[in-house]
Structure 1
Amino acid sequence: MLLTMANQMSCAIENAMTQSEISLMEQDHNRRVKQLSTLLELNKALLTTVHFERIVHMTLTAITMGDGLGFNRAMLFLVDEKNHALAGTMAVGPNNAEEAGEIWSALSQRKRDTSKLIAQIESSTENHSVLNFIVKGIQIAMEHEQCILSRTVLEGRPFNIRFPHDKEEWLQTRCERGCHLGSEVGCYVSEHLSRDPKIYAFATVPLWGKGKVIGVILVDNLYNRNPITEEDIGYLTMFSSQAGLAIENAMLYRNLEEVHQQLKEAQTFLVHQEKMAALGELSTSIAHEIRNPLVSIGGFARRLDRTLPADAPEKRYTRTIVKEVERVEKILSDILTYTHEEAMVLKELDLREVMEESLSMISEKLRSGGIEIAKEFSEKVPGVKGDYYQIKQAFFNLINNACESMDRKGKLSVRIHPLSKNGSSFVRVEVEDTGAGIDPEALHHIFNPFYTTKDNRLGLGLPIIHKIVTTHQGQIEVNNHPGRGATFILTLPAREEKQK
């Protein structure tokens, strides 16, 4: 009887163990099915767009999503082949533990299926987090072979850097040079990405494109401190393989768009040059045919005006003829100025002096019109190498346009300051008026030749300014405030100081 009972107990225990194993296998199977299903949904989402920023944001958000891969934070570093470096591209994750807690609490209260969460990823691409700002400022030279990020690219394999528990393990995980990620105090990356560089654990996986590594995805669980397992690494590697192809395709598409835009700009420039050449020949011929009789008309009209008594009724007719002749002469002069390439006489200019002379040319008009002038010039402004007469004409046209827009009343503000941008020095000139501003519909056409919204205007004032500024390797911008005025901003490169 005891033997029978023992056999029955043995069978029961064996069945229980088998059932337990089957249950574990079933749980593992269900987990794998869920993972594969999630990967399928994520990969399908990546195929919905070729926009680079959107794909990168979707990829990193999927990695940190609770129903996705579930890491606390995810960062992407892409290979910059030109500079042979790794450049921080984007990061997704909470800025601090409090923010992480709020996010997890909100997610626990609203359960959604994967497809709805994917849709939420697609609809939110704004990323103004502190982490994203920090990562975008990181650049690591690929020569640093001991850096974990560099090694991930060079060796094409993932790394899982766990918490160091003793000195021996610490020495095994530290980097000798490079970014020292996850190693000693003083490391730029680990000190900015972690709360305590000495206990910072993270994992990296290579981002594969077509036959080569194009970047690195770095993940961590900084806030919940969950260990990153080899299964997590495998899951992340599977996803990153598909994400890498999508990101590479988006990069190629972005490059094609940039090249296409450059070709369009080159084509537009060539068409513009051809038009200008044809217009130049035509304007020269017309100006020659018109100017000869115009000189005679103007000369005789001025002579007749001088011979007539001041109280003669015919005096107003001669003055009208002289005034109209001068207007036509100015039109011809503007056309020739815009259509012909004049040789520039370059010398070092102080734009403050040029502006003062331009203001003096129109000072009488300003005073009679009741226009207030406010000047703001920096004490130290670097010189600009340019053609004095062209720069003076550009300033005069800007001031004159500002006065006309204010209809004989308002405030004209002129500012000149030095500017440093991308390691180069510039001089910034601003001419601001308090007029009616520019019609938003006309804003995109104001630099086009012969476009005007004013009566008795040829529409060459701003195009001539634009031509002069671009000829001097500068830029012109406009800040438009309809109903309140407009500000034209000229940025000209400063003359480089010779080192003593």
Structure 2
Amino acid sequence: MEKSSNDILLSFLPRARLLSESDLEGLKTLLADLARRCGCDDALLWVPPSRRQGNRQLSGRGVAGWLPAGDLPSPGYLPLDRVTFVSPYHFIPLLPGADPPLLVLLGQRPLAPALTRSLLALSAVFPRFAEPPPLADPLGRRTLRSLTVLEKSLHLAGSIEEAFSHLCRTLFHQRGILAAGLRPLHGNTLLGNCFFQAAIPQGAVIEAMRRSAQELSWQVVQCDGYREQRSDDFLALSAPLRFQGRVLGILTLFAEGQETSPVWGERRQRRFVSAIYSLFAHALERITAHEARSTLAVENERKLRETATLYRISKAIHSTVKMDELTHLILSAAAVPDGGGFERAMLFMLNERSGMLQGMLGVTRESALFALLGGRDKVDWEQPRICPEAEALQHKSPFCRQVVKQRLAGRGEENPLARALQSQRVIFVPHPRHERGAALFAETLQLGPYACAPLLGRHRPLGVLVVDNPESKQEITAQRLYFLELFASQASAAMENSLLLRNLELANQELHKTEERLMHGEKMALLGEMAASIAHELKNPLVAIGGFASRIARKESDPGKMREYGEIIHREGVRLEEMLDSILGFSRKQLLCFSEVDPEGMVEKSLELERDLLAAAKIDLRLEIVRPLPKILGDAAKLHQVMINLLANARQAMLQGGVLTLRVFPGFFRGAEAVSIEVEDSGEGIGEERIGRVFAPFFSTKDNGTGLGLAISCRIVEQHRGELLARNGPQGAIFTIKLPVGKDGVSVVPNY
């Protein structure tokens, strides 16, 4: 429909302009074509009865020529500033004013809005046909030529001021027009000062006209109609510029001050003024819409640019979690041209205990560029790095030293920084030297108009970011304050992440220290227990050795007794040697030599040493192997030692004979493939209160045991990243070895 309406407008304007006022046959053809294209039965050009020679109509279907209007409604009941539908008529006013000629379309349905907007544009060409113009009247032809030239000029105007200049040139060529004033309107608000131009020299009359234009504009806005004002020097007419029912501005014209001014007195001049208002209203709408689109485009481009800048800065400041580096990065990003764009940035951190804001860092644009560029042509926002030398340079700068000396109250409303924290919003200070509670602060740092942005964590305020432009004196606008608020939000998130990480590291360090203290305490307790156990174990053989040695020293005469005493001394000495070897083996670091080990072969080799002992102890051996078994990577000698220890313990647990079951099978350990070896005896088992301590050093369930065999075996298995478990079975104890196997069938072991 929009395209069809534009086609109607483009089709009729050129044809209508080519017709002369006397070519009623051509006008009749145009009206008939217009009715057909609009889907109506007929189109009339109607002059209401209030005009001279009024109540006439020209039809597109009737006889060529003007006829009485017939039964058309009285214009007193019609709103003459918009299209009105009174079935079956559509009334389209062609000129502003009290009694305009109307274009009447005869149809049963309301017209589409797009079509009515196009029909309103025909007001530029149809009014000249409303009265039979005398062809010999040269004023009419000059007026139409002036309107045509004005219409073209207004169409090319790019601003309201340019359009108003074109309008004034046209007006001043007419007889009696002295000056014109324009007040644009937005909603019900008059915008800015009045545009004013005069055709007479400056003087007291011109000033009176300016004041009159101001007063009349306000009166027109309040009454929504036109106003006149007469004086000895001029006659003023002020009326609204309407477009589709909306008032776009107030246009005031000034004419000569005669009682019957030619501007308003003659009919043709009234038509000229009405056409002027209509044409300029259309031009004002077009320019206003164009300026709105341009402003919107500029605003969108600014928002897009700021969003891209914030994205770059956000990636940059979240690239590090070190607080020192982060603060330098944040302030440097705020002070470079392709970053925040401010000339200086200052950071004040809040001390929660004292409630004071302490200056931490101050950065100028020069030091920020030096820090971020680092010898490059442009800032690398993807991976920004500030070297220690640049950080030291920023700290040593005179400006930073002045910032660090500043201490301000951080609570209440004593200064702008505290108010920013209190209100949790950006505070702008336009006159720093007159600011309550911060005049000395501004004078010390030589601050221009500055802004304070609060840095807020999730649960507590962190500090305040202060920026200014002392060199260029560039204004910090509302848009820049909004950008600063977003920038401060990103900086707050990065700083809180850094603080949380630092707190986590401190907590982790404290946890490690606590763990070390606990381990040290356990170790000391274990050493105490070990020392007591060693003292007890060493005391018995030493007492025996000492006693029998003293008897030999007394020269026992019986050779048999001396031989017995010597055997006891030898046996106890061997026992001491074995005990000391076990203690040394447990205490010193184990060196493992890894190679591929066949689990089944390792078990068979261990059994070769134990078969005779098992048979002598009347113990039956049951061997259960689930094949195939993957090879493992380990120290064969150490694993063989573990097997011998477990088999010996099982044998010693069955003093009256029994059954020893040995199982070897593939399985899983901690989600990975593994080989499991179980040694089960049919002895008495291990008491529930003692089973949790069987792997503790120097703990033994045997009277003559050292308590180190299972402890050493458990450590060897753990060095193979495996696990040694103990539990009670249906009859006796069960010890299980689990050794993990890697993806390629070889167990994964640590490097020792």
Larger Rg: 2
Higher RCO (CA < 8 A, seq sep 6+): 1
Q: Smaller-chain TM-score range?
A: 0.3 to 0.5
TM-score under structure 2 length normalisation: 0.31
TM-score under structure 1 length normalisation: 0.45
